[in-house]
Structure 1
Amino acid sequence: MAALEAELMKLVGELTPAKRIEGPALHRPFLLLWAVGKAVQGEVREHRWSTIRDALGPLMTTYLDVPASADQVLYPFWHLQGSGLWELADAESLTLTSNGRRPTLNALNSSDPVAGLTPSAYELLSTDPEMAARVASHVVSTFFNPPLPGFLEDLGLADLMADRIEDALRPQVGESFPNRNAISDAYGGNRVMGITPLRDRILSVYSDDEGPYQDAPINELGWIGYTGDGLTGHQQMVSGNRSLQAYQQQQRALRYWHKPDGGQWTFEAWVVVVQVRQRWGVGTDRLARREFVWVLAPVPSPLRNTWPADVLAALEEDDWTVRDDTEGIPAGGGPSDASSRRDRYRRLTAAAQRTADRRTRRSRLVEVERYYRSVSAREAVLIRSEDTCENRTCLGHPTERTDAGAAILEVDHVNPLARGGADTPEAMIALCPNCHALKTRGRNRKKLQSLLLKTARLRHEEFMSAAG
């Protein structure tokens, strides 16, 4: 039975609408839902062409906004056969059109053949309400999202679904697995790739804290910066990145899986892509490269009518273009002489200032812009610090290093952003953890903050002057 269920979900996941100039034609998914409704209501497996024509035609006009014509029903009645979910009796005896693509309307009307779900699909859907709900939920959330008022009732699915579309989908949010093999055994899909669909063809992205990518939450937003596909060299808009781009343009929800250090893989949330950016990163070959970062916003379910207002606003604002945070900034890891560092500092400062000058609106995507452009400002400050705490009165460990040899420094806004502080290098400073604590919570923090602001400005002027 498990194998039959897996095969059924695979076939349902592979169902795709025909592409037309005016948009995808949803005739085949619509007929499939109608057939599922008949199965769960205990009706016979096969139905006459005339029955399907007369029942489906008015519904398609109402919900698919297509002309009231038997030709509109003919299309899915014939072509759903290719899905492996539907069969048409005596199909070979029907007279076809001149191009041989489908039977003529006269042939169907005169012979009135029967058609319906395949026996295996019908057996599962008519006897297992959970499986029927899973199939219906997938089709509705993929193609009819959100369903129009009366949609489920007219297709005979209202009682089956009853506010449970998102609950019927599998896997459910919160499910955990020890490894990728276990996920694949349960729900199909590739066992290695980071951006890949499960058996039901809904895309999943995988984020491993122990992996090579720099995936991270975006400040207090609760959104996620997810690194694109490709381990070495400049990332291209192909493969997994192309799949994410398609979901971005379709404004469709995908699954986000996360594995903390030493933990298990967990289906953590449904997410939607609200923006894509390009930044400098380092590949597994330790060479600088341009990489994509996909901004993922968690949503309660794949149903659009459950998405928060700020996510919908971000989707409305997104124009699908790649926001280039590498423009005018040379890659890191180049020459380490003083002139190169100062030139890079100047370019990073310019990138941060360009964004600071544009901040006239308040929205989630503006906050994302602030976060990623402030990466330029933070990197500039770290270059300026020359791996040493910039507090001139530091009594802690100004030159301490990690096991990897990196400086233990925290870049901080001297005046917090929430209080109007600038997000540019002259208003930011690199501090050791001890000085950072003193600046934030110390008894004499006001005096120290004033001193640090003067220091930051002086250091900034020195570097900008030396860089010309």
Structure 2
Amino acid sequence: MALREITRVEVLRAIEEYDRLGRDVFLLAQGFGEARRFRLSYQGRLYDSKAIVGAAHGYLPGQSALVARDFSGGVATVVALLRRLGFTVIDAKATEGDGSAGHPEYTAFEAAIADLRMRATRQGPALHQPILLLWAIGRARRGDARLTPWSTTEREVGKLLSRHGARGERPRPDYPAAALHRAGLWEMRDHGGPAPSADGDRDLARWFDAQQPRTGLPLPVYETMRDSPPDRARSVGTLLRYFVGVDQPAVFAFLSEVGLGQEGGVPASSAGPVALEGAETAYADAVRTAARYEQLCRSVERGEVARHGRRVPRQTQELLRSAPAREAVLIRSADRCENPRCCGQPDDRTDNGDPILEVDHVQELALGGRDHPSQMIALCPNCHAVKTRGRTRETFRAELLSVAERLHYAMCHARGPEFST
């Protein structure tokens, strides 16, 4: 038995088998009963965690599936394994009777990236893996494609390693890609045969050159990094801990290059020494931001009915708009245009130091739109002009409405289940 050898790949194959057979047939075939406490949550479905791990063992080379009597299904074995591989495990006992009905109690991805296995150098851990992950998180923040051709990854990440590898890192993205794939934190598609480990040199390079896989973050991780600013800030802060001791202006230059200059709790333009050891405070800041956002939304909702349709006396008659709603959207935007396909907003600021952003209603108030952050969006002048006057404005508005709703949902759920309303 070699549970420690199981990777995310084997677990996903077991999940596919479960989906293909159905729960009853799968459990019968594997010799398991229904899970009484721990369930694996994946893409909106729940799976019997111990049975999945038992079946996953059978997908290891030269191994057979395990039955229930072969191993324990508790916290220290099955749960620890699945969480280490980046999966969410629901504890039925922890949520029993509290109305949470299966809220994940653990941020698996953050836990995994806090314990990366990396080559040690005299200056600290080699930065191959954090650099690759931060590059991918930056892509997710912009809404770029999740999976990229290997030629693109090799070119872009190779340049980053050459410019920002502060501990003698070679410009070889194949090393971190293989290591993270083995840890279940990096997806590889469109290749033949099993992906290699990060050991070796020429064989590894030859495999990537020959196979040219498409690679990137796993889908649930990508969606979280794209849609949830608090989770993204927390993950960036976790990865920045590996950069302790690196010249800080160089770290901030790297973050700016990958599109994460405002993440990690410290603006890229900050001058003077700022201790990266404090990067974990990004989580607390994100929680406070989410709390303020929720408070403003509640203020909006309390006055929404009384305010709806009212007009203020001016030279022209305009519908009354909520100031708290506008402030909430600006908080949510983190000073950046919320259009995920934005080609670039001005870096300049107003006389008051505010970002050059327009907070707009996706659906016009005069046409029945709601004066609420869930239907409002922060846009740079270019994106605002496209939304208002562009030929593609109707399609663009539909996209922006989906973005606004998604970002609003992420902010309102950023503080965890204990704060959910």
- TM-score band (shorter)? 0.3 to 0.5
Asked which structure has the greater RCO (Cα within 8 Å, sep 6+), the reply is 2
TM-score normalised by the chain length of structure 1: 0.32
Judging by fraction of residues, say which structure has more helix: 2
Structure number with larger C-alpha Rg: 1
TM-score normalised by the chain length of structure 2: 0.36
Judging by fraction of residues, say which structure has more strand: 1
